Structure 1
Amino acid sequence: MVYEQQKARTDKVKNCLEGRKSMAKPLNEVPVTALKGVGGALAEKLAKIQINNLQDLLFHLPMRYQDRTRIAPMGTLQPEMDCVVQGRVVAADVMMGKRRSLLVRISDGSGSIGLRFYHFSGAQKNQLKTGAEVRCFGEPRRAATGLEMYHPEYRVIKADDDTDVEETLTPVYPATEGLTQQRIRALCQQALEKLDNPDALQEFLPEEVRWQYQLGSLVDAVRFLHAPPPDVSYELLEEGQHPAQRRLSFEELLAHNLSMQKLRTLVRTVKSYPMPPKQELTQSFRKELPFALTNAQEKVLAEISQDMMEPEPMLRLVQGDVGSGKTVVAALAALQAVENEFQAAVMAPTEILAEQHEKNFKSWFKPLGITVAFLSGKVKGKKRQEVLEQIASGEAMVIVGTHAIFQDEVIFKKLGLAIIDEQHRFGVHQRMSLRKKGEANGGQPHQLIMTATPIPRTLAMSAYADLDCSIIDELPPGRTPVNTVVLGDDRRDQVIQRLKTACVEGRQAYWVCTLIEESEALQCQAAEVTAEHLKKTLPELSIGLVHGRMKAAEKLEVMDAFKAGHLHLLVATTVIEVGVDVPNASLMVIENPERLGLSQLHQLRGRVGRGSIASHCLLMYHAPLSQQSRERLQVMRDSSDGFVIAEKDLELRGPGEVLGTRQTGLASFRVADLERDSGLLEDVKNAGRVLLEQAPSNAEPLILRWLGHAEKYANV
């Protein structure tokens, strides 16, 4: 017995020493299980919200606060404003109605309020009897009996209780099932006590950076945000603009910026192939073009040409609004590679867009004696073998295709330039595999990434910080602006008549059926039903149908018939979003536009207005519209500038949505908000340079603190 007691005492001392030893570590090395009351089951729940260690817990910041620092007189209460009240129970009754409830009325002399409980026990009922002194926190709401609080947090005050109110604002944390606010608060409180250890949260920002940008201490900022004093500016906290929030946002944005710079440095450690412009092919190509390039195209071309002359791989993102002429720019870049005896690969996300590129490149390059090969999933058998041989032998100098061109069986003789169109549609690994295709010759191909979905400046500076950005911000002459009209689907018959008139007058039109309940099958079904209905209603028109579930050959056949003018009307799903160029199409109807993002709507609208005829886009919504949907459709009506639309899209939908689901790893911030904190981005960029000069060894731990290992997914 004595031995067992002695052993228990020894174990206790040992555990205590172990605990102290673990607390001397940086908090990112201390697991949550080191906290009192955290076993395996609770650790699992915390892991669901990405909390694995004490640093994670401290960076799990409150989303809002409650003021429980003072007791409000009941006579001053306003509906829907959280407050603490204290008073004596003057009545407590079980009310029978649709639902049985316990209604307790308390009074403090200045007024009274009801506390209503729909779920209550006998013990609770006895506790809240007449004469008891009760303090509770909740939100008063108007009811038939006056103001009431529903299921407030409460405690019965005994005469000898130490009943001080809270000294700081009460945090409300993002939670998950099985994790109450009280539990998270208690755990954060324990973690905050460990901040006295000087190594708990290391300061990675150089003093010069903190001084220049007026950034306080990290530990002080964390302490403050978990327990702000009652006199803090509540408005600043709500807007995320308090200096303590700004301090953490700055550091998180800096970690993202450094991770991008790290990727860029890694890519640049592999050499590329210098390709000076030789002008032979490019001059001949320019002479044959039926139009002159815009100043914006010339400027972007000069930037690309300069990059391709360097021995490091080009990493350039070219943004250009719908119809700004990115394809011609890509063709001239490809010619610079071909002049230097390198192959160029052009990768597009859809068969339709890839075929459009194939058609353009073949018509431009055939007269120059350049073989263009095409490879997609539908190129099979003998034909596929032929194409693979052309690529491997170097006979094909320009290769256009879908993701099929980075499959293992595709071997390039000498790939020097990879052009990726609408890059946000590709997964990270797909882009990386294409890059690896060029490494066989001891270097990495130059990369030119193009998008017609303008990326707001704030996103480009963070999500694409490892790329140089160029913008084609000028449309070629002769493009007519598209008139956009927003109307309800109760006017469908008028829309159909308008469609008929346009087609009878010799023009062509699109009718776009958007996504229904996130299901491709239902979307295709909706398009089929719509096409059938329109064929019956407009027998004098020839109507075609294109959707995602059709075979590639069928889709191509319908698209070719539409381009050739054999069809008046094309009913389609959003597969026609990019790459369809029919100058005679001057009317587009988009059903349920409220279901799409603004940038996607802008892309669809860009299919009309490609010729000199006045063009119209009808956005036919289904009532009732939410406030946000109304705002978004108003933006479409008011603006045809893709960049304005993209900024608004970011504001309304957030960065994860705008970048596309595959890019969300880049955009999931814990504290920072790209739109709110866009003003910090320029300073963050400069601070990154200073940190890499003065304390380069701090970059890696800073990235790990905020991104963990997520930065490997951000490799563009």
Structure 2
Amino acid sequence: MSTVSSRAPAALDAGTQPLTTLKGVGPALAVSLGKLGLERVQDLWFHLPLRYEDRTRLVPLAELKVGDRVQVEGVIEAIDRGFRYRPQLKVALGDDSHVTLLLRFFHFRRAQVEQMAVGSRLRCYGEVRQGPTGLEMVHPQYERISGPGTPLDGTLTPIYPTTDGLGQKRLGSVIDKALAQLPGDDVLELLPPALRAPLGLGSLREALLTVHRPPAGADLQRLARNQHPAQQRLAFEELLTQHLTLRRLRERVRRYRAPPLVGDGRLRQRFLADLPFTPTGAQSRVAEEVAADLHHDHPMLRLVQGDVGSGKTVVAALAALNAVESGFQIALMAPTELLAEQHLRNFRDWFEPLGLEVVWLAGKVQGRARKAALEAVAGGAPVVVGTHALMQEGVMFARLGLVIVDEQHRFGVHQRLALRDKGRQAGEVPHQLVLTATPIPRTLAMSAYADLDVSSIDELPPGRTPVQTVVVSNARRGEVVERIRAACLEGRQAYWVCTLIEESEQLEAQAAEVAHAELQAALPELAVALVHGRMKAAEKQAAMDAFKAGEIAVLVATTVIEVGVDVPNASLMIIENAERLGLSQLHQLRGRVGRGAVASSCVLLYRPPLSQMARERLQVMRDTGDGFRIAEKDLELRGPGEVLGTRQTGQMSFRVADLARDAHLMPAVQEVGEVLLAEHEALAERLVRRWVGGAARYADA
């Protein structure tokens, strides 16, 4: 394998020259290309098509099906230019099959109309739709041709990601010029033959040429699904680059020192003795894994994942006590005030009897209370719980040894780093423990969390009852209200969760207020309370406390109650507009019930008609309560960016790879990655430069 490093120096420079070295790429075009992140010639090699158009063949009009994107050819039989509601140009196209296709244009110029003449022959490409009087194409691409037999394209037409002011034709032309400079595999290939051969990975050069310019006989179906061998070859290299980036990140962090947190066990023993239950085997195993990490003098980076109610907080508390016993502070950060407040109550209930002060620091802690909290943190208060406010300027820790981040995927990488950096002292950084109640599919964890060790609490505490899930149309809302009345009159409690597709706390709050008023009117004999994100913290807390104490029968809430609320007597969960939520969020909400010994139910209310994806999601919820199976299905349906919440945090952005579709590649990606880092570090560096380039962010995460 070592022969790779003996290549000529030119190998290191292939494709790294600026785009302005290509003929016809001046400063203005270079700026447009730069908006797409394209700066070097090799960036164009790896700027891959989104999809393909098949202009290598003609489809007879008689064979057209609604939804097909196809190329047709025919003679103009009639033209109608109308202005009834808005300008419209309609062109009737016919062929030898005596079938007519309508071409409809809403935006057109006089010159276009003048080009159209009955008897002229057109070749068109577009999507077939069902119109009022038959099949039609709206705004197809078209060209006038001289007659039958005009040559067709020899390759499939790639459609690329582009930007304003840069059309497909011009971008395709620039990519053609870049491909003309594609070197041979002896220069281009960065994976040593000994690593490629056992996996059957083909030539990178051939893969790039095939993906950019698929020959006429290429399997369009496999290309459309990104499952063509050429695409899989590129997907492997892209996943490998992602893996290498995160592994290098991990190695860089591990170069720091961290304080070994050993502790004498006295606080942990008292804590465990005071618990009203015995931790499960899974909790004990994961707590030992965390403790072992904390004993080392390099930073722990561990993700603890577990289904709703599996007891991650007990594991976090044991880790916190380990740090406190060793003379260090711990900071626990949660993404919402409601979840942070739940942690605050748990930690105060557990730790204050042990003589430990627990400080609260959130955005709404202001004035004298904030000043007192900041002084306590700077003075060495052992346990600090809060929200994003923990990362703000002016928050100074005396001796931060452990950072616990709950629901990591709701934070950007830089936010986790900002809190870690609060504890950076004399070359040392704190240990990091990340918690999530969203089970991460194994293949996703292998890629998205390659910088973290992963522990799974895969056992629920005894006494949890399975939740029966039913899917009900909104038309039967009255029956659902009667079901609530019957359950609550038997002494049980219910949640009614309102959701809106708009990302607006204000609109969600309004929807919850309307539902609250409706349920109060429909259930006058029951106490109905309201919780939403725009209420004052004290009001929210008063409603939650009253619900937990059994004084409230029905709690109407927005998705703020998704995590961190534990009311064992609540046995009925109604989720309105359930079709609008992802599987993981539905599973989280459902996990608020089934916490006691009473049989519990979850009613998923939906507004018809349902899309195919919504139908599949709701069916999965009916079929299983297994969080890991639900997570796998969520990944398959929505993709990793949605599951991890990384649309906001910018972690996952693939050009060709897809973690759900390409999961089978991950074990080999890990193996090749380990060999590259151990034996070919320079090649690993070049791979990252090739795929990530100047966009390598969070290099010191």
TM over 0.5: yes
Name the counterpart of 1:634.
619
Name the counterpart of 2:291.
305
What is the aligned counterpart of 1:347 among 333, 336, 351?
A: 333
1:279 corresponds to 2:276: no
- Structure 1 distance, partners of 2:254, 2:78, is 74
Name the counterpart of 2:551.
566
Name the counterpart of 1:424.
409
Name the counterpart of 2:687.
702
Change (3 A) 1:375 1:82: closer
Name the counterpart of 2:481.
496
> Residues 333-482 of structure 1: matches in 2 within 5 Å?
333-394=319-380, 396-482=381-467
Offset of 1:44 from its aligned partner?
4.2
What is the aligned counterpart of 1:550 among 517, 535, 541?
A: 535
3-state SS of paired residue (1:667)? coil
CA contact (8 A) 2:11 2:188 kept: no
Offset of 1:314 from its aligned partner?
0.6
Q: Which amino acid aligns with 2:584?
A: S
- Structure 1 distance, partners of 2:66, 2:385, is 64
3-state SS of paired residue (2:494)? strand
1:617 corresponds to 2:617: no
- Structure 2 distance, partners of 1:405, 1:524, is 27
1:172 corresponds to 2:125: no
Change (3 A) 1:127 1:572: closer
Q: Which amino acid aligns with 1:67?
A: D
Q: Which amino acid aligns with 1:493?
A: G
What is the aligned counterpart of 2:254 among 245, 268, 281?
A: 268
- Structure 2 distance, partners of 1:74, 1:545, is 59
Name the counterpart of 1:27.
15
1:218 corresponds to 2:204: yes
3-state SS of paired residue (1:439)? coil
Change (3 A) 1:23 1:45: farther
Name the counterpart of 2:472.
487
In terms of Rg, which structure is larger?
A: 1
- Structure 1 distance, partners of 2:605, 2:650, is 34
- Structure 2 distance, partners of 1:364, 1:81, is 62
Offset of 1:184 from its aligned partner?
2.9
Offset of 1:401 from its aligned partner?
2.2
Q: Which amino acid aligns with 1:194?
A: Q
What is the aligned counterpart of 1:68 among 55, 70, 83?
A: 55
Change (3 A) 1:148 1:618: closer
- Structure 2 distance, partners of 1:144, 1:572, is 44
Offset of 1:304 from its aligned partner?
0.8
Per-residue deviation, residues 259-279 of structure 1 (Å, max 9, x unmatched): 101111111111112223533
- Structure 1 distance, partners of 2:523, 2:127, is 58
Structure 2 gap ranges (5+): 1-9
- Structure 1 distance, partners of 2:102, 2:697, is 53
Change (3 A) 1:584 1:150: closer
CA contact (8 A) 2:76 2:91 kept: no
What is the aligned counterpart of 1:691 among 639, 659, 676?
A: 676
- Structure 2 distance, partners of 1:132, 1:353, is 68
Name the counterpart of 1:670.
655
Name the counterpart of 1:190.
177
Offset of 1:449 from its aligned partner?
0.5
Greater Cα offset, 237-246 or 179-188:
179-188
3-state SS of paired residue (2:182)? helix
Offset of 1:254 from its aligned partner?
1.0
- Structure 2 distance, partners of 1:353, 1:93, is 64
Name the counterpart of 2:235.
249
Offset of 1:124 from its aligned partner?
6.0
3-state SS of paired residue (2:454)? strand
- Structure 1 distance, partners of 2:64, 2:483, is 58
CA contact (8 A) 1:516 1:522 kept: no
- Structure 1 distance, partners of 2:60, 2:510, is 61
Offset of 1:40 from its aligned partner?
4.8
Q: Which amino acid aligns with 1:349?
A: P
Structure 1 gap ranges (5+): 1-21
CA contact (8 A) 1:414 1:441 kept: no
Per-residue deviation, residues 152-181 of structure 1 (Å, max 9, x unmatched): 55555559x995432222223334444433
Q: Using structure 1 for the length normalisation, give the TM-score.
A: 0.88
Name the counterpart of 2:4.
none
Greater Cα offset, 647-656 or 702-711:
702-711
- Structure 2 distance, partners of 1:249, 1:666, is 17
3-state SS of paired residue (2:650)? helix
> Residues 78-227 of structure 1: matches in 2 within 5 Å?
89=75, 91=77, 101=89, 103=91, 107=95, 116=103, 118=105, 137=125, 153-157=141-145, 163-196=150-183, 202-227=188-213
Change (3 A) 1:533 1:215: same
Change (3 A) 1:677 1:504: same
Change (3 A) 1:218 1:569: same
3-state SS of paired residue (1:712)? coil
Change (3 A) 1:92 1:366: closer
Per-residue deviation, residues 111-135 of structure 1 (Å, max 9, x unmatched): 6765746477776677666776665
Greater Cα offset, 649-658 or 352-361:
352-361
Q: Which amino acid aligns with 2:53?
A: Q
Change (3 A) 1:165 1:418: same
Offset of 1:567 from its aligned partner?
1.7
**CA RMSD between the two structures:** 3.2
CA contact (8 A) 1:277 1:305 kept: no
Offset of 1:39 from its aligned partner?
4.5
Change (3 A) 1:125 1:598: closer
3-state SS of paired residue (1:637)? helix
Change (3 A) 1:75 1:320: closer
What is the aligned counterpart of 2:519 among 514, 530, 534?
A: 534
- Structure 1 distance, partners of 2:323, 2:548, is 31
CA contact (8 A) 1:23 1:30 kept: no
- Structure 2 distance, partners of 1:546, 1:146, is 52
- Structure 2 distance, partners of 1:413, 1:574, is 36
Per-residue deviation, residues 48-95 of structure 1 (Å, max 9, x unmatched): 4433443333322223333333456777777765555667x5856557
Give percent identity, aligned residues only.
57
CA contact (8 A) 1:221 1:244 kept: yes
CA contact (8 A) 1:321 1:453 kept: yes
Offset of 1:475 from its aligned partner?
0.4
Greater Cα offset, 383-392 or 128-137:
128-137
Name the counterpart of 1:5.
none
Name the counterpart of 2:564.
579
- Structure 2 distance, partners of 1:143, 1:555, is 52
Per-residue deviation, residues 623-659 of structure 1 (Å, max 9, x unmatched): 2222211211121122111111111111111111111
- Structure 2 distance, partners of 1:274, 1:263, is 21
Greater Cα offset, 608-617 or 48-57:
48-57
Offset of 1:539 from its aligned partner?
2.2
Q: Using structure 2 for the length normalisation, give the TM-score.
A: 0.90
Change (3 A) 1:443 1:137: closer
